[in-house]
A and B are shown apart, each in its own frame.
Chain A
Amino acid sequence: MMEPMTAPDQAPSTSTRIARTVAITSGKGGVGKTFVSANLAAALTRQGLKVLVLDADLGLANLDVVLNLYPKITLHDVFTGKAELEEAILPAPGGFSVLLAGSGLVEYSRLTPEVRDQLTNIFESVKPRFDVILIDTGAGISDVVLYAVSMAHEVIVVATPEPTSMTDAYATIKVLSAQQGREQLHLVVNQVSRSGDGRAICNQLQQVVERFVQGPNGVSPRLTFLGDIPLDSSVREAVQKRQLLLELHPGSAAAQGVVQVATRLLART
């Protein structure tokens, strides 16, 4: 059961800031979850917010690949006591900060109590320093992913119009409702062929959720549609050049889609 520990606070640059925490998850891998996390962080930063992306894709981290970062110090070093947390928080292109898991964390792919405690401690200690913390979780619904999601106040589910992605997104929503009592989830639809397709997919998911999914309190989770991101050749170019789309092609349809997601996210409190 998810217990929101703190109220989201969007006021930037106050000493009593407590970050609004948003987990980004997808069910299926390869739907552009990390692309969305990185560019959404950049879009939020442009709105004047202090943003941290926590890469909770323990062991399969590729935020560093997307951002072209070669960190010497990662969460792994913090976990093993080889470095201080401060040293692991890195500035990323786009003006936000990142906390990277690092690769090769085989032993953390299973959620041991130690990993759980370490993640929680790290998360609690960074919360007062940022306005928004995005948690880029791994794909699937493993216990690490579910735990990483459970740390966040809000959840964005990223899906594509592909049937397998929709099915996995639906399964994720089902599990988050059953296990965490989530009553509200955000949806971003990536790789749509036409703008507007995302809304239809959200409505479709909502219908099935209302009919088949009931949380512990008998409530069906409500999906809030944050926007869709069109299939756009500029996205592939940005990924290949390992740059943020918002920096490389800020005027592209996909970049505009991400900006809209940021705006809609901030409009919801």
Chain B
Amino acid sequence: MSASAGAPAAAAGLRLETALSLLTQAGWPIPTDVQPGSDAWLQAVVDGLCELSSRDALTGLNNRRQFEAAIGREVDRVARVGEPALLLLADIDHFKRVNDTHGHAAGDIVIRSVADCLQDCVRPMDLVARVGGEEFAIILPNCPPAFGQAVAERIRQKVSLKSVAIVGGQELKVTVSIGGAFAPPWVRSSASLWSERADQQLYRAKSEGRNRTCLDMPPLTVVSAEEKGLLFAGLTQSDPIESSGNEDLVPKTPQ
């Protein structure tokens, strides 16, 4: 127990050895500029533990627990706000072969490399998580359906172009299959229904030959720029009308 004399009474009886060694092992800085055992010090320890419990140890990405909390919040948000949100599931192709041929250490390097790649491909607001052995999930809030395929393709290409240096000076090329689905706007859905639809697309990408992207696109009706132009012509708006590209896409029910 590192609480010294003068520490708050609340900290005095706590057993923090395990917590502190976990943080040290994970490289989480334990503040040295505050009094050990003080409220500020305890807060830093708690913050460190929270951070640790939401991260994947191998890649530093969000872990499955964090992903599940985030997808639950996102599906509720989309239901009320109606903003399109995309869930991508990416799975490394033939990962077992990497492990079998080059060993588990090489497998770990590949997983880390793909993780970095995914993180580099998305916006800061997007959430990238490692949800299984060689499976990753990305939640992209406010992602218009028109851009979904481009985002998924960019990720797939980036991974396929990257060489992964493993031990012994060898370089490996790996690919990912990506499946994606949009959360239904204005509709109460559930995280599991959303994941299930993305997972079906991942399965499709795998069965159609891997190293490809398959998205479950929401049916669209297009309100063209011409229609929009006419819609707002002559109306004096207090707030400016944003023009975001050629056309606006709004959801439509299947025929």
CA distance A144 to B135 in the complex (A): 34
Q: Which of B31-39, B47-55, B182-190 contacts A (4 or more CB under 8 A)?
A: B182-190
- Kindly report which residue of chain B lies nearest to residue A58, judged by CB atoms: B188
Contact A29 B186 (CB under 8 A): yes
Across the interface, A163 reaches (CB within 8 A) one of B189, B230, B241, B252, namely: B241
> Number of contact residues on B: which range applies?
35 or more
Interface size on A (CB < 8 Å)? 41
Contact A167 B230 (CB under 8 A): no
Report if A109-B235 is in contact (Cβ < 8 Å); known contacts: A140-B251, A143-B254: no
- Kindly report which residue of chain B lies nearest to residue A103, judged by CB atoms: B188
Across the interface, B223 reaches (CB within 8 A) one of A29, A162, A167, A204, namely: A167
Q: Which of B1-9, B79-87, B92-100, B103-111 contacts A (4 or more CB under 8 A)?
A: B79-87
| A14 contacts B by Cβ under 8 Å | no
| A267 contacts B by Cβ under 8 Å | no
Contact A170 B186 (CB under 8 A): no
| B26 contacts A by Cβ under 8 Å | no
| B170 contacts A by Cβ under 8 Å | no
Task: Name the distance in Å between A159's Cβ and chain B's nearest Cβ.
Answer: 11
Task: Name the distance in Å between A22's Cβ and chain B's nearest Cβ.
Answer: 20
| A134 contacts B by Cβ under 8 Å | no
Contact A179 B253 (CB under 8 A): yes
Task: Name the distance in Å between B231's Cβ and chain A's nearest Cβ.
Answer: 5
Task: Name the distance in Å between B15's Cβ and chain A's nearest Cβ.
Answer: 41
| A13 contacts B by Cβ under 8 Å | no
Q: Which 4 A-B pairs have the closest CB atoms?
A: A59-B188, A140-B186, A139-B186, A171-B250
B residues whose Cβ falls under 8 Å from a Cβ of A: 79-82, 184-190, 193, 221, 223-224, 226-228, 230-235, 237-239, 241-242, 248, 250-255
Known: A140-B82, A175-B221, A211-B230. 8 other contacts (CB 8 A): A140-B185, A141-B250, A141-B252, A143-B254, A163-B242, A205-B231, A212-B224, A212-B227
